[in-house]
Amino acid sequence: MRTVYTRAEIDAVLPRVDATEAVAQGFVAFSKGDVEVAPVGELLFPENSGELHIKFGAIRGDDVFVVKLATGFFNNPTIGLPPFNGCMIVLSQKTGVIDAVLLEEGELTNHRTAAAGAVAAKALAPGNLRAIGIVGTGVQARLQADYLRRVTDCRDLFIWGRRPEATEHAAADIGRMGFQVFIAKGLDELCERSRLIVTTTPAEHPLLTASMVRPGTHITAMGSDTAEKNELAAELLELADLVVADSLAQSEFRGEIYQACKAGVLQRKTVVELGTVLSGAAVGRTSDAQITIADLTGVAVQDIAIAKAVLRELRSN
DSSP element (H, E) containing 37: strand 35-37
- Measured in whole angstroms, the distance separating CA 43 from the mean position of its chain's CA atoms is 20
| The residue type at 135 | V
Specify the pLDDT at position 2: 75
**Exposure on the CB side of residue 131, measured as CA atoms within 13 A:** 18
CATH class of 4-108+301-316: alpha beta
β-bridge pairing 50-59 and 272-273: unpaired
Q: Give the mean pLDDT of the chain.
A: 95
Q: What is the pTM of this model?
A: 0.92
pLDDT at 25 over 90: yes
Q: Taking the CA atoms of the chain, what radius of gyration do you get in angstroms?
A: 19
Specify the pLDDT at position 105: 95
Specify the pLDDT at position 1: 65
* Strand partners for 133: 158, 197
Q: Which band of pLDDT confidence, cut at 50, 70 and 90, is reported for residue 50?
A: very high
Q: Where are the alpha helices (DSSP H) in 72-163?
A: 107-124, 139-148
When comparing pLDDT for 150 and 225, which is higher? 150
Per-residue b or e along 291-307, where b marks 16 or more CB atoms closer than 10 Å to that residue's CB: bbbbbbbbbbbbbbbbb
Specify the pLDDT at position 131: 98
* Residue 87, φ and ψ in degrees, nearest 5: -155, 165
Mean pLDDT score, 125-148: 96
pLDDT digits (tens, 9 = 90+) for 212-254: 999 999 999 999 888 899 999 999 999 999 999 999 999 999 9
Mean pLDDT score, 286-295: 97
Where are the chain's structural domains? 4-108+301-316, 125-298
pLDDT digits (tens, 9 = 90+) for 188-222: 999 999 999 999 999 999 999 999 999 999 999 99
Angle between the 164-175 and 139-148 helix axes, to the nearest 10 degrees? 30
CB contact at 8 A, 191 and 133: yes
Question: What is the CATH superfamily name and number for domain 125-298?
Answer: NAD(P)-binding Rossmann-like Domain (3.40.50.720)
Give one DSSP letter per residue of 226-271, joined into a string: SSS---B-HHHHHH-SEEEES-TTGGGTSHHHHHHHHTTS--GGG-
Specify the pLDDT at position 317: 65
pLDDT at 9 over 90: yes
Give one DSSP letter per residue of 156-193, joined into a string: EEEEE-SSHHHHHHHHHHHHTTT-EEEE-SSHHHHHHH
Residue 109: CB atoms within 10 A of its CB come to 27
Mean pLDDT score, 13-19: 96
Contacts of 205 (CB under 8 A, 6+ apart): 230
Q: Let me know if 168 is exposed, middle or buried by CB neighbors in 10 A (0-12, 13-18, 19+).
A: middle
* Maximum pairwise Cα distance, the chain: 57
Specify the pLDDT at position 40: 87
| Cα–Cα distance measured from residue 24 to residue 20, given in angstroms and rounded to the nearest whole number | 6
pLDDT digits (tens, 9 = 90+) for 154-170: 999 999 999 999 999 99
Give one DSSP letter per residue of 3-27, joined into a string: -EE-HHHHHHHGGG--HHHHHHHHH
**In terms of Cα–Cα distance, which of 217, 61, 199, 62 is closest to 141?**
199
Mean pLDDT score, 14-41: 95
Specify the pLDDT at position 188: 97
